[in-house]
Amino acid sequence: MAQAASDGKSRAQVARNVLAQAVKQANEADVPIRIHPFAEALEAPLEPDQLPSSDKDGSQILMSLSQVLQNAASTGESLAGIMVLSDGRDTSGSGPDALADIALRANSQNTNIHTVAIGADQPAADLALQLNRSAITAFPGQHLRIPFALKSTGLEPLKAQVSLLDENGSPLQQLSLEVESGGTSVGTFDLTAPSVSCRWTLETPVVAGESRKSNNRAGANIRIVESKTRVFLAEGAPYWDSKFLAQLLRQQPQMEVHSVHRLSDERYFRIDTGSDETTESEHPVFPATLDELGRYDLIVFGKNVDPFLTPERAEALRQYVRDRGGAVLLSRGKPTTGDVPALDDLEPVIWGSARISEFQFEPSAEGENTGLFGQALPPPDASLWKSLPTLKDGRQVSLIKPFTRVLANGQSNTSASASGKFPALMVRRHGQGVVGLLNGDGLWRWDFFPEARELGNCYDDFWIQLIQWMATYSEFLPGQDFSLRLPASHGTAGSAVAATISYRGTTPLPDIQLKVIAPNGEESLVHPALLTDAYGRPMWRGSFTPTSPGDWHLSILDPRDHAPSVPETVFTVPHPPSEQDDLSADPDFLNHIATATGGTALTAETAEAFIRQNLLPKKLATRETGAVWKPSWNLATVAILIAALLSAEWFFRRRLGLA
């Protein structure tokens, strides 16, 4: 507790002052108390005139509280209350279940837990490296962006170097950032994606005087999609937008594109990846069945695609998204001139009638939160977006459907809304798949106009990053029959982790297994149980229990011959923090303990008055039937509080290994 708390005093000094006040008040009021120091475990009680030591590692707050409550229950002792003196840093790595268990025990024993936050007014010196996405999906050789942030607390302004390291620890790139005191600086590594999946590391050197060292590194799991993304593009009103987009997609080595364009009611032409020749037809070529649609990862629609969609095809398209994890991109706003019920069901919005002739494209805060802007693409506040040519032919929206996320807005002076804003880019999860919608036309000018070219390859980046982001937003990655989901990417050792596996392939169902690789390289197999979801689709569920800190790698074993690639994921168990690992106070953690157990959250400044007012004996009252105990004053809430402290259990929380 040598870390400063206030007025130049260490946290140990502040805590000892509070403890001395409690001992003095207990002696004057003739109220018995016990003082338990704790570190890695609950320790034996001290005499009131003894001061706890502060030369040990670890700070097991929840574990020690649990032990006190269990001891009291086993001996039949009725605790009037517990007070914890702490800076709130629990080094056990316990999750919310541990706090819920303590709250249940304390409430069942009518024992309130009061907390005193020590050092909450003085942040510890720290430089934290933050990575927004721990898993990044890309195609081999593709342009890859890895954004990160450096957050400074309690340090002077500095210039920090951040290194991106490969799996062997060799540097791939390095960046230097200026970080203001108490500020956050952001940076991005731009490089080419590797040919195989790997784990890279970002790190920044420890700064002199820095109290926490474990957050100077962060791992990035680079997932490489080996299969090509299969795309079908249907355009009923060919224009520059659809021409530019089809050409761009056909140029991508990781994409296989079939595009069909309507020239008239009886004339359609098709052009595919790898071919410069067109094939003409009198009929609108489009996947006619669910199985034919299942050959594609993405269906792209332009405008006026009504002739492509018979009722049977539209229904198959709806099932393709909902049940097969397919992706649909409406690249030019409302795709049909009439009503196509099955397609209307997929659209993220209900359309209004007003049209917007010209508007500026503005990424939204939600678009940044999803990782599309600020990670895959420049952030919303980048000057680039205001410099790009305007778009046109937007349409007002009457209703945004549930599960729709608005990634960007259109800003127009002619919009019917008071603010001039309307949804311009949206995405909606539908069953196992996803539907994206660009509400407007004219994006081709981002590629064609010289002033847009000078700002970089904005057009290419936008479409490729959007399509790739949609692929990861959908349940299935391109070319894969399985999806693998965990409830979280991080957790604690000893807690079971459930894995859910979905399937969109053909029957018969393969007899799959889940392979788990521990941090030490030891492999184990899990046989998941075969189930069905609410729509009758096959799914599997299994669980594993990580037993040690580190990265646990999970993948599916598909026994079929020539099986497509399978999904992989990583579950990380952080190393438990040590006593010296994070010296900053965490009063919120103590507040949660007090709130969950009906106690009071205090500071060192408010603790003295609380102790003086509540650490009191009860008055003895008499009546004809005998003696009874009554509170010393008649406020019901105060009476409960006084009763809770009649025979108090006092905790002193030593901290940081120094006196």
Same domain, yes or no: 78 and 175: no
Taking 90 as the threshold, does the pLDDT of residue 613 lie above it? Answer: no
Residues 6 or more apart whose CB falls under 8 angstroms from that of 66 comprise: 98, 101, 102, 105
Same domain, 153 and 41: no
- Boundary residue ending a domain (533, 550, 573): 573
Same domain, 220 and 259: no
State how far the Cα of 341 lies from the Cα of 316, in Å rounded to an integer: 12
The reported pLDDT for the residue numbered 614 is: 81
Do both 353 and 205 map to the same domain? no
Which CATH number do you get for residue 102?
A: 3.40.50
Average pLDDT on 605-613 reads 88
**Residue 321 forms part of a structural domain:** yes
Element (H, E) at 534: none
CA distance 519 to 208: 31
In a domain, 432, yes or no: yes
Which of the four pLDDT bands, split at 50, 70 and 90, describes residue 509? very high
Question: Do residues 212 and 583 lie in contact, with contact meaning Cβ atoms separated by under 8 Å?
Answer: yes
- In this structure, the answer to whether residues 419 and 287 fall within a common structural domain is yes
Whether cis (ω within 30° of 0) applies to the bond prior to 450 is no
In a domain? residue 642: yes
Whether residue 578 is contained in a domain is answered as no
Residue 566: which domain range? 482-573
Please give the pLDDT value at position 456.
Answer: 61
Q: 306 and 422 in one domain?
A: yes
Q: Are 195 and 141 in contact (CB under 8 A)?
A: yes
pTM flag (> 0.75): no
Q: Residue 659 falls within a domain, yes or no? A: no
In this predicted structure, the answer to whether residue 24 has a pLDDT above a threshold of 90 is no
Task: Give exposure, 335-357, as e/b (b: 16+ Cβ within 10 Å).
Answer: bbeeebebbebbbbbeeeeeebe
Digit-coded pLDDT (tens) for 102-113: 999 999 888 999
* Percent residues over pLDDT 70 in the chain: 85
CA atoms within 13 A on the CB side of 61: 33
CATH of the domain at 552: 2.60.40.1930
Pair (79, 175) in one structural domain: no
Q: Say what percent of the chain tops pLDDT 90.
A: 37
E strands, 460-559, where?
Answer: 482-485, 497-503, 513-517, 523-526, 529-532, 538-544, 550-557
Shared domain check, 287 and 436? yes
**Are residues 598 and 559 part of one domain?**
no
Same domain as 561, residue 529: yes
CATH number reported for the structural domain that contains residue 432 in this entry: 3.40.50.880
The answer on 355 and 385 residing in a single domain is: yes
The answer to whether residue 315 sits within a structural domain is: yes
Q: Structural domain tally of the chain?
A: 4
Strand order in the sheet with 81-86: 34-38, 648-653, 81-86, 112-117, 601-603
Q: Is the pLDDT of residue 521 over 60?
A: yes
- Chain-centroid distance of CA 251 in Å reads 33
Cβ–Cβ < 8 Å for 445, 452: yes
What's the CA dihedral at 377, 381, 383, 386 to 10 degrees? 90
Does a structural domain hold residue 579?
no
273 lies in a domain? Answer: yes
Residues 487 and 561 in one domain: yes
- When comparing pLDDT for 152 and 46, which is higher? 152
Among the candidates 547, 573, 599, a domain finishes at 573
- For residue 350, give every residue at least 6 positions away whose Cβ sits within 8 Å of its Cβ, in sequence order, or none: 397, 398, 399, 401
| Pairing mode, strands 619-623 and 626-630 | antiparallel
Name which residue leads in pLDDT, 475 or 233. Answer: 233
Rounded to an integer, what distance in angstroms lies between the CA atom of residue 240 and that of residue 276?
18
Q: What CATH number should be reported for the domain holding residue 195?
A: 2.60.40.10
Q: Provide the pLDDT for residue 416.
A: 53
Mean pLDDT of 477-505: 90
Domain boundary among the residues 473, 496, 514 is at 473
Name the pLDDT band for 285 (thresholds 50, 70, 90): confident
Q: pLDDT tens across 125-153, in order?
A: 889 998 877 778 888 888 888 889 999 98
